[in-house]
Amino acid sequence: MSDSRDNIYAEPVDPALFRFDDKVAEVFPDMIKRSVPGYTTIVAMTGLLAGRYASPGSKLYDLGCSLGASTLAMRQNVHHSDCEIIGVDNSQAMLERCRSVIDTDSHDVPVSLHCADLQDVVIEDASVVVLNFTLQFIAREERDAVIQRIHDGLRPGGIMVLSEKVTFEDPHLDELNIDLHHNFKRANGYSDLEIAQKRQALENYLRPETLAEHKQRIAGAGFDSCDVWFQCFNFASLVALKQQ
Ligand SMILES: C[S@@+](CC[C@H](N)C(=O)[O-])C[C@H]1O[C@@H](n2cnc3c(N)ncnc32)[C@H](O)[C@@H]1O
Ligand SMILES: O=C(O)C(=O)C[C@]1(C(=O)O)C=C[C@@H](O)C=C1
pLDDT, one tens digit per residue, over 68-77 is 999 999 999 9
Mean pLDDT of 167-194: 98
Which residues contact ligand 1 via a Cβ below 6 A? 20, 32, 43, 64-66, 69-70, 88-91, 94, 117-119, 132-134, 137-138
Is 89 assigned to a binding site? yes
Is 143 assigned to a binding site? no
Kindly identify the ligand whose nearest atom is closest to the C-alpha of 32: 2
Let me know: does 32 contact 215? Beta carbons within 8 Å.
Answer: no
* Ligand 2: centre distance to CA 96 (Å): 20
pLDDT bin (cut points 50, 70, 90) of residue 13 is confident
Q: For 76-147, where are the E strands, in sequence order?
A: 84-89, 111-115, 126-132
Question: Does residue 133 fall inside a structural domain?
Answer: yes
pLDDT of residue 3 exceeding 80, the answer is no
Is 174 assigned to a binding site? no
Residue with the smallest CA separation from ligand 2 atom 13 is 32
At 220, the amino acid letter reads G
Question: Does residue 106 fall inside a structural domain?
Answer: yes
Report the nearest atom of ligand 2 relative to the CA of 66. Answer: 14
Question: Does residue 199 fall inside a structural domain?
Answer: no
Which pLDDT belongs to residue 2?
A: 56
Is 64 assigned to a binding site? yes
* Ligand 1: centre distance to CA 132 (Å): 8
Is 132 assigned to a binding site? yes
Q: In angstroms, what CA-CA distances link 145 with 16, 41, 51, 113, 138? A: 29, 28, 27, 22, 11
| Structural domain boundaries enclosing 233 | 39-167+205-242
Question: Does residue 236 fall inside a structural domain?
Answer: yes
* Domain CATH code at residue 131: 3.40.50.150
* Ligand 2: centre distance to CA 35 (Å): 6
From the list 86, 63, 89, 90, the residue with the least C-alpha distance to 75 is: 86
- In the chain, the percentage of residues whose pLDDT exceeds 70 is 99
Which pLDDT belongs to residue 16?
A: 76
Question: Does residue 59 fall inside a structural domain?
Answer: yes
Question: Does residue 158 fall inside a structural domain?
Answer: yes
Q: In angstroms, what CA-CA distances link 132 with 69, 106, 114, 187, 215? A: 10, 23, 17, 23, 16
Let me know: does 163 contact 234? Beta carbons within 8 Å.
Answer: no
Question: Does residue 75 fall inside a structural domain?
Answer: yes
Per-residue burial over 51-63, b if 16 or more Cβ lie within 10 Å, else e, is: bebbbeebbbbbb
- Chain-centroid distance of CA 185 in Å reads 19
Q: What are phi and psi of 184, to 5 degrees?
A: -60, -45
Mean pLDDT of 130-144: 98
Question: Does residue 81 fall inside a structural domain?
Answer: yes
Cβ(34) to ligand 2 under 6 A? no
Residue-wise pLDDT for 22-45, tens only, equals 999 999 999 999 999 999 999 999
How many folded domains does the chain comprise? 1
